[in-house]
Structures are given as C-alpha cells and as structure tokens.
C-alpha cells in the first residue's frame, strides 16, 4: 500500500511541477525561476508537514516522499547552474545557488514555525 501512495503522490507532484514550468514559460520567465519556485514552495510545505508530525505515516508516504519528492528537484537545480555557467551568466551563477539555499532553509523554518 505504501508504494502505491508514494507513486500517486509522485505522479501528482511531477505533474504539478510541470504545470509550474509551463506557467513560467508563458510568463516569459528565465528557465531557472520555475525550479527556484518549486524548490522554495516545497521547502515551505516540507517544514509545515514535518511540524504537523506526518513522518512515518501514510500521509508522509504520499505527501513528503511522493508529492514533494517529485515536485522539488535538486537535479534540475544543478543542471540550471551548469547551463548558467555555459551561458557565462556569472551573476546568476553566484546568486541562484545562494538564494536557493537560503530560501530553502528559511522556508522550511517558516513552515515549521507556522503552527507553533
């Protein structure tokens, strides 16, 4: 049963991420903005979920492992940085990883504190 919950959550998370990517393309935003958004939103939601104590439950399998695991993406983040290096956009090469890291930490903390 747990495998099915993870698969269902993962499918929904991947489709949601794809929707954000398509939305950002329609808004003519740089490609890395969608990755930044999904990772930031995912960090906030992870903090909230962990504070609510969903670890080791069916909800955790569906939401944190499945949905958020597929919605957020480290590999795309890393690829975006490589693309920025190839494009010689050195300002973005410095800012994008730093902002992503700090936003993730701050938003997990905020999500954790929302229900405190």
Residues in the annotated binding site: 69, 72
| In contact, 56 and 1? CB cutoff 8 Å | no
Binding residues for Na(+): 69, 72
Asked if residues 19 and 37 have their Cβ atoms less than 8 Å apart, the reply is no
Q: Are 72 and 43 in contact (CB under 8 A)?
A: yes
The C-alpha atoms of residue 111 and residue 73 are separated, in whole angstroms, by 19
């Amino acid at each position: 049963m747990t495998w099915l919950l993870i698969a269902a959550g993962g499918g929904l998370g991947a489709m949601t991420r794809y929707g954000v990517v398509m939305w950002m393309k329609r808004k003519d935003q740089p490609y890395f903005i969608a990755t930044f958004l999904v990772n930031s939103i995912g960090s906030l939601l992870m903090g909230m979920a962990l504070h609510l104590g969903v670890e080791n439950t069916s909800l955790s399998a569906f939401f944190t492992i499945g949905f958020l695991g597929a919605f957020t993406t480290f590999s795309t983040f890393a690829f975006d940085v490589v693309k920025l290096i190839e494009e010689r956009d050195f300002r973005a090469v410095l800012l994008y990883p730093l902002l992503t890291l700090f936003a993730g930490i701050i938003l997990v903390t905020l999500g954790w504190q929302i229900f405190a």
